[in-house]
Amino acid sequence: MAASRLILFPGSFPGVSSRLAGFGGKLCSSTRFCSGGCIKEIRDEGNKFRRCIQYSGEGARLAVINEGVLVKENFVSEREEEELVKEARSSFRRVKYEYDHWDGVIKGYRETEKSQWRSQSNQSVIKRLEKATLEASGGEVTAPAAMMNNSPPNSLLLSSVHVLDLAKDGYINPHIDNVKFCGTTIAGISLLSDSVMKLVHQERKDDWILMLLPQRSLYILRDLARYEYEHQILPDSLSYFNNEHIQRDNRISIIARTKPFKTT
């Protein structure tokens, strides 16, 4: 087995799951899917959490145990989902799904960047998403760049969230988000449909992670998983977790990201 490296980026440290527990819901606890290679249970301050994650390879194991990947069920309620979908879809009026993305990554999609939300419910959810993103990145605790600049912790976040509407027959091909456009942590809310995210190491193809993303859940990618693993949303024909078909439908995701590091 090839040797693997654990990379800790500024502001990152273990213990994310205990902090995320304060955002409602629970880390993915589907005993129906979590078996075999899945990390079933972690204990933190007397609480039990489960993550819907399967993996193979030493690098993937390190990414999982250091909480570079997390799934949190029921991050939003059904009512909150309805409000988010309603406002998100209003941004796509008369916009058709595209099947020819500029870099070939996404098929069957509509997308936009959104910094303002009309609904108070949606504003509250976005604040919760941004806070979870900061917590996962360590931003609220260490915030090294922000402290040096006497800036508030939320200055570590991109000012807009990314809204991606994926058609039922749409999918996202393997890719690593460009380091020029976002930093160490990516967090997304999955709406309307369950889906499966697959991560494969960019060099060691037998080093992989599968993440079951239930409808209304939050997923987090950070550090090793974000920088060294290509991630994708599988099409319905390939959407399997623990040998069970996870039916895909129209899916909307709302994604928050930390800012990229400035280079001089």
State the pLDDT confidence band at 87, using cuts at 50, 70 and 90.
Answer: very high
Confirm if 208 and 161 have CB atoms less than 8 A apart: no
Question: Residue 32 sits in a domain of what CATH number?
Answer: 2.60.120.590
What percent of the chain clears pLDDT 90, i.e. is strictly above it? 62
Q: What is the pLDDT of residues 111-169, one digit of tens each?
A: 999 999 999 999 999 999 999 999 998 854 333 443 334 444 556 899 999 999 999 99
* Structural domain includes residue 8: no
Q: What is the pLDDT of residue 141?
A: 34
Task: Flag whether pLDDT at 108 surpasses 70.
Answer: yes
C-alpha–C-alpha distance, residues 225 and 218, integer Å: 16
* Structural domain includes residue 206: yes
* Structural domain includes residue 3: no
Supply the range of the domain harboring residue 97: 16-257
Task: Flag whether pLDDT at 104 surpasses 60.
Answer: yes
Q: What is the pLDDT of residue 84?
A: 98
Top pLDDT among 9 and 96 is at 96
Q: What is the pLDDT of residue 19?
A: 58
* Structural domain includes residue 55: yes
Top pLDDT among 63 and 25 is at 63
Count of structural domains, the chain? 1
The structure's pTM equals 0.81
* Structural domain includes residue 49: yes
* Structural domain includes residue 124: yes
Q: What is the pLDDT of residue 24?
A: 60
* Structural domain includes residue 96: yes
Q: What is the largest CA-CA distance in the chain?
A: 52
Q: What is the pLDDT of residues 1-25, one digit of tens each?
A: 333 333 333 333 345 666 566 666 5
Name which of 247, 10, 1 is nearest 148 in CA terms.
Answer: 10
Q: What is the pLDDT of residue 52?
A: 84
Q: What is the pLDDT of residue 28?
A: 61
Top pLDDT among 230 and 103 is at 230
